[in-house]
Amino acid sequence: MTVISILDHAAVLVFALTGALVASRAQLDLIGFGFFACLTGLGGGTLRDLLLDRTPIWIDSPTYLAVACGAAILVFFTAHMLESRYRAILWLDAAALGVAVAAGAGVAQAMGQPGTIILVMGVATGCAGGLMRDVVANEVPLVLKQGELYVTCALVGSLALLFAPIVGAPVASLLCACLTFALRAGSLVWGWSMPTYKPRPPRQD
């Protein structure tokens, strides 16, 4: 199993857990848990693969579907044990973001894509699954919430993959995942954020 395959499996697992937790908050049945887990866990990787003209990971290897469904079953029977499911979603999502960005950017880098495509694939893989999850659940997507560092974390983390020819792909992937998670964690703990647009009254000339 390659480093990218390991990252992809890890991203599917952790994102699927967040999807199943969202299903638990909506009090869905087991099929609903499976739907949200698969949508969230596989959404980003599927978008990446389609854009790069690759066979989607879950079609090429059914183990990804098995991982997502296993996460759904696990959460279905254990979600009630969590003190705050929303807090768990935030932190699991942060961890999944780091791993998924590294996987997405790593796939593009391994295919010899230029730097801009590496960055875009890292962001798309990291953000698409969670975006789909929140839209279907009729919630404000985390990627769009005011004061949340999210897409920025994915973009900055993806930059680490550009150093792969210097430090090696495994090290670059680790740096990518850690940097992405650290920025997202900083946003959750210390409220790090990007400046937002502030409307001003029109000038009176």
202 pLDDT above the threshold of 80: no
Q: Does residue 169 lie within any of the structural domains?
A: yes
DSSP codes of every residue in 52-73: TT---HHHH-THHHHHHHHHHH
- Percent of the chain clearing pLDDT 70 (strictly above): 99
Q: Does residue 53 lie within any of the structural domains?
A: yes
DSSP state of 202: P
Is residue 151 a contact partner of residue 123, using CB atoms and an 8 Å limit?
A: yes
Quick: pLDDT tens for 167-182: 888 899 999 999 999 9
Quick: pLDDT tens for 80-130: 999 899 999 999 999 999 999 999 999 999 999 999 999 999 999 999 999
pTM for this entry: 0.93
Q: What pLDDT shows up at residue 205?
A: 60
Domain range spanning residue 39?
Answer: 3-190
Q: What pLDDT shows up at residue 173?
A: 93
Q: Does residue 121 lie within any of the structural domains?
A: yes
Q: What pLDDT shows up at residue 194?
A: 87
Q: What's the mean pLDDT in 7-16?
A: 97
Mean pLDDT score across all residues of the chain: 94
Q: Does residue 40 lie within any of the structural domains?
A: yes
46 pLDDT above the threshold of 80: yes
Q: Which residue is associated with the tokens 């990007």?
A: 194
Q: How many domains does one find in the chain? A: 1
Is residue 179 a contact partner of residue 156, using CB atoms and an 8 Å limit?
A: yes
